[in-house]
Structure 1
């Protein structure tokens, strides 16, 4: 488990600097990710399915010449009802020089948080893998789960980005 001081010493957050996060909804829960990784926000469109891909990898689409894998975070995190309609949102991310789309229920807002406002993610042991969490914060009386989107996208489980590229960028 990381303390707030450990988060700050990693160069992610300085004690009094505010970092902007894009908040989004999955089911009944509120999540957020570092806005610097967001390329654009779009409506969901049909994707080309990839054989033998895990169920949470919906397929790929062509985004102005880039072939972009689309990951449904609702399925990955096992939250919310998985429906694809005109209200379904895809957040296009630029992670490790690769564009990846994540499907969410809704985009909420841009929030600013200082390191003092970010609480470390609790340790759940083997029951839950918290390596994809940066921490937790309370925003307008709601608990917001801060996702470490680089760790998630570069995980062996997703296999979308070479993990070596991630360490080159840190």
Structure 2
């Protein structure tokens, strides 16, 4: 499913990781929460930080810094968990800050630039230039690849 809607604009949530601004479509966002206690789950891939109990629903949490192969940083007062929904799956994404909600004119969205040697490039749908801002549009289908999110049991004695 493309993020490009049938209208002239796409409404997105803008969030920050390191000094870059990223965006995901509002219709995929369920909530934005402060960082809650995260319960570690053994046998998960390193970017899956664990699970939280969000209003009675156990929700897996992915650290986008780790997923994009960006160095870890301490959680701060502005760190947020963005709860997204995709393919009947709800997942929390840890980001440095959730900045705002904006409408991006469809004509300002360009295809993903050819960036060589970056892991995050495979998770990008495109970029949008708005005034002096450059927003990186995140492809949640790639970030939340179910094959990579499954818990792999550890084999003892190997």
In structure 1, distance between residues paired with 2:79 and 2:98:
10
Aligned residue pairs total 150
Alignment match, 1:34: 25
SS at match of 1:136: strand
Give a deviation string over 1:63-101, Cα, whole Å, max 9, x none: 122210000101211336421243321001111112100
Q: Summarize the Cα distance change of 1:137–1:115 in structure 2 as closer, same or farther, 3 Å threshold.
A: same
Give the number of the structure whose residues are more often strand, by fraction.
2
Alignment match, 2:95: 104
Alignment match, 1:12: 4
Q: 2:141 aligned with 1:145, yes or no?
A: no
Q: Summarize the Cα distance change of 1:70–1:11 in structure 2 as closer, same or farther, 3 Å threshold.
A: closer
Q: 2:73 aligned with 1:58, yes or no?
A: no
In structure 1, distance between residues paired with 2:55 and 2:72:
30
Deviation at 1:20, TM superposition (A): 0.3
In structure 2, distance between residues paired with 1:156 and 1:143:
31
Q: Structure 2: state its 5+ residue gaps.
A: 152-158
Q: Summarize the Cα distance change of 1:78–1:151 in structure 2 as closer, same or farther, 3 Å threshold.
A: closer
Q: Structure 1: state its 5+ residue gaps.
A: 1-6, 161-170
Contact kept, 8 Å, 1:33 with 1:147, in 2: the verdict is: yes
SS at match of 2:111: coil
